[in-house]
Amino acid sequence: MHVEDTPLAGLKVLTPKVFGDDRGFFMETFNRETAAKAGIPTEFVQDNHSYSQYGVLRGLHYQYPTWQGKLVRVVEGGIFDVAVDIRRDSPTYGQWFGVHLSGENKRQIYAPEGFAHGFCVTGDDAHVLYKCTALYTPDEDAGVLWNDPDIGIQWPVAEPILSDKDRNALRLTDIRL
């Protein structure tokens, strides 16, 4: 597994070693020792599976005060995955990083605690799997507006399909942490 740092402290992109032949392929999607050496948590307490069609945008979600770190990958289809640093004391507060994840490229992203996370489906559909460092707590569920002009994310879909929750999320300057 190759782990790359991003310009946002703690945010990592992971690319597995894929061993393929005419029968298919094999890859390791998580290794505790590799994760620990890269500064990624080694204990995840919840796994989630999301299915969405083309143009669906989910996010930008976070949970507070029980933050969740997320290790995200796509098993089928493709997404543009985004993490926004919402740690008020961070030198990269309000900055975003995006990466294309797909069943084909098999890359992953680790969004640590203190980041809002979201993605937009760029293929016909996408199956997204993610591991979380904390259990989902509905009363702590929150979001940042997907198109907040102060953040300026360059989403690949002009008119995404949104939930009411995501359409009505707060701008970064209005969230209280």
Q: Which residues are catalytic?
A: 61, 130
Nearest 5°: the CA angle 71, 85, 14 is 30
Q: In 10 A of CB 146, how many CB atoms?
A: 23
